[in-house]
């Protein structure tokens, strides 16, 4: 029997084992909730013991940072706040720009939107292929020296890039998609994070809702939903992936656990340096997700989960080809 820990760490600071990804309160998955509904959810997460809240300049092109700035006004010391730079909205379009001068502008704008003097953890959202990672991380190191940022992270970075960045300034956290159906991190990144004492924050730990039975019919997705363009959610691939979902639901019934909790508990058991950051717009789903931290899973259940959903059984790539070109994380060979 394996037991999930009650706390984990980011840069030596204790955190709840499950954080909150805040993107979908402003961005990506169709129409977001109202500001009042979003603030209610953020406050409920804090009540439930969530300490780590994750946002980015990209999300809602600044709206998500502004939302968190309003939600946590007056109670900022109670949370561990993470945001990201290097990928923002410019004239309504997503732009990757890791130039030092751009990053310095981004941090000042982020601090204003977040209504804070310093960000606890600041990620380079994407590595700009036109800019040496040493230059981008060097600029972020300057932010630490200036007191604007307390720790630096990377997002969607390969093991080699992590090592190069870490040589410039200590990397505190690495954020990449990781779930039962997205295993790229297992190629090299999880190991290098363990070696260098870097926390791994897992985004989309519920496979963009798939592992929570949140998407069972792709025809119901709004045109503004980014999943509409993702290979795994295309009709033919999705039909195949639904077969995996049926097997997962059968297992969930056998062990008397909601599928979302089963998926999150599996992830927590993959390493003590891993903190999942599921996002949601539902308070009920939030409460269910956070409860997964209290679960333990038998080795037999973990093995069955691995056998049902893994790199070889999932149909479709993680991202469309143009987006994949922007990702530095290692990929499985075809």
What is the Cα–Cα distance from 43 to 155, expressed in whole angstroms?
26
193: which 2 tokens? Answer: 């994070």
Report the predicted TM-score, pTM, of the whole model to 2 decimal places.
0.96
Q: Give which of 50, 55, 54 is closest to 65, Cα–Cα.
A: 55
Q: Which of 59, 122, 123, 178 is catalytic?
A: 59
Indicate if 123 belongs to the active site: no
| Environment class of 71 (CB within 10 Å of its CB; exposed 0-12, middle 13-18, buried 19+) | buried
| Contact criterion met (CB below 8 Å) for 318 and 184 | yes
250: which 2 tokens? Answer: 């059968």
CATH topology of domain 2-208+267-294: TIM Barrel (3.20.20)
Q: Give which of 147, 5, 17, 20 is closest to 81, Cα–Cα.
A: 20
What is the Cα–Cα distance from 37 to 49, expressed in whole angstroms?
19
What is the Cα–Cα distance from 16 to 8, expressed in whole angstroms?
6
Question: What does each of the 334 residues of the chain score in pLDDT, given as a tens digit?
Answer: 344 557 999 999 999 999 999 999 998 888 899 999 999 999 999 999 999 999 999 999 999 999 999 999 999 999 999 999 999 988 888 999 999 999 999 999 999 999 999 999 999 999 999 999 999 999 999 999 999 999 999 999 999 999 999 999 999 999 999 999 999 999 999 999 999 999 999 999 999 999 999 999 999 999 889 999 999 999 999 999 999 999 999 999 999 999 999 999 999 999 999 999 999 999 999 999 999 999 999 999 999 999 999 999 999 999 999 999 999 999 987 6
What pLDDT sits at residue 92? 82
Domain residue ranges in the chain:
2-208+267-294
What pLDDT sits at residue 2? 47
């Amino acid at each position: 029997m394996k037991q999930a820990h009650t706390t984990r760490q980011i840069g030596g600071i204790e955190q709840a084992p499950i954080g909150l990804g805040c993107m979908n309160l402003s961005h990506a998955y169709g129409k977001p909730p109202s500001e009042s509904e979003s603030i209610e959810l953020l406050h409920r997460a804090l009540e439930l013991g969530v300490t780590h809240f994750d946002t980015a300049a990209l999300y809602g092109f600044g709206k998500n940072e502004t939302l968190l700035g309003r939600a946590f006004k007056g109670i900022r010391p109670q949370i561990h706040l993470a945001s990201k730079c290097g990928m923002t909205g410019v004239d309504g379009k997503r732009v990757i720009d890791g130039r030092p001068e751009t990053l310095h502008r981004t941090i000042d704008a982020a601090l204003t939107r977040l209504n804070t003097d310093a960000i606890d953890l600041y990620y380079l959202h994407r590595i700009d292929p036109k800019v040496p990672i040493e230059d981008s991380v060097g600029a972020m190191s300057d932010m630490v020296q200036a007191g604007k940022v307390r720790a630096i992270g990377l997002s969607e970075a390969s093991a080699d890039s992590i090592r190069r960045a870490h040589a410039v300034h200590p990397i505190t956290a690495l954020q990449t998609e990781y779930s039962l159906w997205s295993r790229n991190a297992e190629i090299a990144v999880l190991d290098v994070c363990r070696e260098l004492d870097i926390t791994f924050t897992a985004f989309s730990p519920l496979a963009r809702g798939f592992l929570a039975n949140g998407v069972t019919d792709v025809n119901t997705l709004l045109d503004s939903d980014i999943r509409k363009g993702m290979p795994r959610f295309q009709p033919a691939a999705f039909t195949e992936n639904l077969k995996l979902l049926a097997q997962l639901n059968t297992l969930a019934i056998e062990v008397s656990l909601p599928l979302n909790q089963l998926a999150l508990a599996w992830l927590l058991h993959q390493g003590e340096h891993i903190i999942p950051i599921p996002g949601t717009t539902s308070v009920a789903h939030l409460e269910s997700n956070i409860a997964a931290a209290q679960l333990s899973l038998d080795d037999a259940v973990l093995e069955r989960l691995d056998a049902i959903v893994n790199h070889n059984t999932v149909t479709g790539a993680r991202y469309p080809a143009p987006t994949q070109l922007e990702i530095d994380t290692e990929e499985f060979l075809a």
